[in-house]
Amino acid sequence: MLTAKSMKARGYGIKKRTSYLSYNFRRIDYLFLSLILITTITSILGLLQGYGRIEVYPTISFNISRDILSIYYLSFLILLIPMIYMELRERMVWYEFRTKKQ
C-alpha cells in the first residue's frame, strides 16, 4: 500500500512516460566549452614540447622565466581551476552539513 501511494503521489501512470530532457546551451556553456578546448590544446602542445615530463634520473637545472611562468603550465592550471573549485565547494557544503547535524 505504501509503495502504491508513493507512486500515485509522484504521478505514476497519469500520462505517457518519457525520459526526454530539454536543455539548451547558454552563452556560459559555450564560454566554458571554448575555455576547456583552448586550455586542453595548449596543455597538449606543452606536453609535446617537453613541459610536464617526468624524468627518472632528473638533473638540476631551473630557469624561472622559462619554467614557472610558462604559458603551458598556466593553461593547465586554468583547465584545473573549475574542478578544484567544485571540490572545495563540495567539502564546504559537507562540513556545514556535519556541523549543523551535531
What is the number of domains present in the chain? 1
Of 26, 30, 70, 63, residue with least CA distance to 47: 70
The cell for 76 is 593547465
Name the more confident of 69 and 26.
26
| Angle between helix 27-48 and helix 71-101 axes, rounded to 10 deg | 130
| Domain ranges, residue 45 | 22-52+64-102
What pLDDT digit, counting tens, does each position of 3-39 carry?
777 777 766 766 666 666 778 889 999 999 999 999 9
The reply to whether 33 falls in a domain is: yes
Name the more confident of 78 and 60.
78
The reply to whether 102 falls in a domain is: yes
Name residue 76's amino acid: F
Distance from C-alpha of 70 to C-alpha of 72, rounded to nearest angstrom = 5
* Percent of residues, the chain, with pLDDT higher than 90: 26
